[in-house]
Chains A and B, each alone.
Chain A
């Protein structure tokens, strides 16, 4: 094992070259590593409003997904997240145009929408009116930032197996973990359902476009999703989830109380940190106390549940590097070291070209290093090493390639 790890580390240097992957042993990365990487990148994105950096993040996401996605059904859904992202940008732009935020004499006037007068007591909101280039651009950039964060989560869903993420949760959180897993696997499941129903309609030579086709697709998809969640719930039930175990009533209450108090502390602390007007003890101290209470509750609750995992996912060198790439890039974007903080949020009034600050750019490219630091994915889904299905899978994949 150690030999393989060093071999992987050695090849990771030249891993940027596509040919280098063949020398590495394919395996699936720990799902938590991908989630940490993606959430850290989303955190980094939340810091900046610079369209250049945002586009770079999208490119990096595309690169990592191109390099490391598996052939599992949920791993083909990234384009749906891209559509969702485009929708977000479009909605943001349309809303900015309709709910006009006002045009200034220095702005570039684009067009004017019919103005709907609002009564005096509602003078704060204007409907219609002149729309400036600056307003639309700022709305687009704002939407792009949200879109980037969506795509980060989408990348995590594409790269990691959502159901395997459940295994790493602490024992006390198993009941909560079911809810979390169901919620994070909703999007991949929907993607899968849409693909299946779409394909079925095509095989029956049915319509696949237009409003009528949409109705024909939506209803089976919703039905499918409901059936699947019922099946998942039944499967989890039969595997002993939601079982109280050997816990006494008192210890269960203590655990619940500790967790509840801890969550209250965390919420208060977050509020205290974000709102500058609250007294100081509500900030970091409340956050720390809440975290301590939560940890105590989890420890206590974890003692009563003993579970074993079949073939647990290992956490090795590659997991550290992938998660580290994301976290370092987030830290660099929040550190304000080596660059002007204003470059992260360029102003559009007056219009000027955004700059490309060096350190944030390097940080985002560093997050992209996960694309070759992670081990190559397993060649095909499932345990079907027979060449015939794999061959057909490859052919159809080629067909769906953009």
Chain B
């Protein structure tokens, strides 16, 4: 073995130089690239296209209604209104709404949802329930449902929130729980008619959104927001079986099916296709009629929940610790060699 250690002095010097310089060059390059990237940061100031509106501004043929079911955390189904054109993601990130993605999939995968008017803007599920690092399990995630204008059945979204563009007069619903591949389990227990706007013209005055309302900035130029909304959504067969078995990881006392559509708080004046019997209309659902349906509460456009970007002190402390520990290792190795 030791014969490999006999080296020419010139070679040794060369080796030392290259070993020393290569990481240094790499670090310099990385820093330079980062500086360039930050310097190239461009913020466009195009007026916002999508905006949050009071719920009265949504009508049967304008605006998109957003509904989020917080019943797993003892909350109501919150209902908001936003202007179109928009994306499902934008709708869910304006007027006090905020989402968190996963570390693995980025912000496009909705892992947490929060509204500044519900429990102080805390986002659910909490970090203790799901750390949002990897893709959440199919048994507990936010599933995304659409109802087109006039339709009274939910369609499981075939597109992600960033790609889907709600049609004017449509309803977007986010429910937390599990679904199966066939779409027979974990369907919403409310009907689109319970959530959608039924007024044909805006009510509650034409007052615009409050001034402090923060609206999502427009996407940078060149953003692909997916196929055009006019594309007919795939009419995949929606099985109208009752929710017989739900893979419930935890008890959901409030998530019960209402006995009939007439139990909804807002009777539907619009004639909905009668063939589209909502799944909740089946009275033979085993868990049906145990409790009244989760109440629907209107969520007014609000300011974003305060965001604290934290302190940089822990990073500095870590830097000092890394230097201390790493320096101790280098020092010990050198000393060991010297005394050997």
- A residues at B contact (CB < 8 Å): 16, 18-19, 21-22, 49, 52, 55-56, 58-60, 62-67, 69, 72-73, 86, 96, 101-112, 115, 117, 120, 123-124, 126, 129-130, 133-135, 138, 141-142, 195-196, 199, 202-203, 275-277, 340-342, 344-345, 347-356, 361, 365, 368, 371, 376, 379-382, 384, 389-390, 392-402
Stretch at the interface among B60-68, B235-243, B254-262, B308-316: B308-316
A residues within 8 A CB of B328?
16, 63, 66
Query: Do B318 and A352 touch across chains, with their CB atoms under 8 A apart?
Result: no
B275 interface residue (CB < 8 Å to A) = no
Query: Do A66 and B333 touch across chains, with their CB atoms under 8 A apart?
Result: yes
CB contact under 8 A between A62 and B329, given known A105-B93, A112-B222, A400-B19: yes
A110 CA to B221 CA, complexed, in Å: 12
B132 interface residue (CB < 8 Å to A) = yes
- B residues at A contact (CB < 8 Å): 1-2, 4-8, 11-16, 19-20, 23, 26, 37-38, 40-43, 89-90, 93, 100-101, 103-108, 127-128, 131-133, 137-140, 159-160, 162-163, 178, 216-224, 226-227, 231, 247, 249, 307-312, 314-315, 317-318, 321-322, 325-326, 328-337, 339-340
Query: Do A352 and B310 touch across chains, with their CB atoms under 8 A apart?
Result: yes
Q: Which residue of the partner chain, among A21, A111, A398, contacts B37 with CB atoms under 8 Å?
A: A111
Query: Do A196 and B100 touch across chains, with their CB atoms under 8 A apart?
Result: no
Query: Do A398 and B337 touch across chains, with their CB atoms under 8 A apart?
Result: yes
Query: Do A389 and B2 touch across chains, with their CB atoms under 8 A apart?
Result: yes
Query: Do B311 and A353 touch across chains, with their CB atoms under 8 A apart?
Result: yes
Q: Least Cβ distance of A337 to chain B in Å? A: 13
Query: Do B314 and A106 touch across chains, with their CB atoms under 8 A apart?
Result: no
Q: Which of A55, A101, A107, A355 has the most C-beta atoms of chain B within 10 angstroms of its own C-beta?
A: A101
A residues within 8 A CB of B326?
59, 62-63
A residues within 8 A CB of B2?
380-382, 384, 389-390, 392-393
Query: Do B128 and A350 touch across chains, with their CB atoms under 8 A apart?
Result: no
CB contact under 8 A between A66 and B329, given known A106-B93, A276-B137: yes
Query: Do B219 and A276 touch across chains, with their CB atoms under 8 A apart?
Result: no
Query: Do B309 and A351 touch across chains, with their CB atoms under 8 A apart?
Result: yes
Q: Least Cβ distance of B128 to chain A in Å? A: 6
A residues within 8 A CB of B42?
109
Q: Which of A22, A115, A349, A382 has the most C-beta atoms of chain B within 10 angstroms of its own C-beta?
A: A349
CB contact under 8 A between A392 and B6, given known A109-B41, A110-B37, A350-B309: yes
A1 CA to B58 CA, complexed, in Å: 84
Query: Do A341 and B329 touch across chains, with their CB atoms under 8 A apart?
Result: no
Query: Do A110 and B41 touch across chains, with their CB atoms under 8 A apart?
Result: yes
User: 9 more A-B contacts (CB under 8 A) besides A276-B249, A277-B139, A341-B131?
Assistant: A19-B335, A59-B326, A67-B329, A105-B93, A126-B224, A352-B307, A352-B310, A354-B310, A382-B1
Q: Least Cβ distance of A398 to chain B in Å? A: 7
Query: Do A120 and B128 touch across chains, with their CB atoms under 8 A apart?
Result: no
Q: Which of B2, B249, B321 has the most C-beta atoms of chain A within 10 angstroms of its own C-beta?
A: B2
A354 CA to B318 CA, complexed, in Å: 11
A397 CA to B338 CA, complexed, in Å: 11
Query: Do B5 and A396 touch across chains, with their CB atoms under 8 A apart?
Result: yes
CB contact under 8 A between A56 and B314, given known A106-B217, A111-B40: no
A368 CA to B43 CA, complexed, in Å: 45
Q: List 18 A-B contacts (CB under 8 A).
A: A22-B339, A55-B318, A73-B1, A73-B4, A102-B162, A103-B220, A130-B222, A135-B106, A138-B103, A196-B4, A342-B131, A350-B309, A352-B310, A356-B317, A380-B2, A382-B2, A384-B2, A400-B16
B residues within 8 A CB of A379?
340
Query: Do A115 and B222 touch across chains, with their CB atoms under 8 A apart?
Result: yes
Q: Least Cβ distance of A229 to chain B in Å? A: 19
A382 CA to B159 CA, complexed, in Å: 63
Q: Least Cβ distance of A50 to chain B in Å? A: 9
Query: Do B12 and A396 touch across chains, with their CB atoms under 8 A apart?
Result: yes
Q: Least Cβ distance of B219 to chain A in Å? A: 6
Residue of B nearest to A195 (CB): B4
CB contact under 8 A between A110 and B38, given known A52-B318, A115-B224: yes
Query: Do A124 and B333 touch across chains, with their CB atoms under 8 A apart?
Result: no
Q: Which residue of the partner chain, among B11, B16, B138, B309, contacts A353 with CB atoms under 8 Å?
A: B309
B residues within 8 A CB of A381?
1-2
Query: Do B217 and A105 touch across chains, with their CB atoms under 8 A apart?
Result: yes
B residues within 8 A CB of A365?
321, 325
Q: Least Cβ distance of B125 to chain A in Å? A: 12
Query: Do A393 and B315 touch across chains, with their CB atoms under 8 A apart?
Result: no
Residue of A nearest to B247 (CB): A277
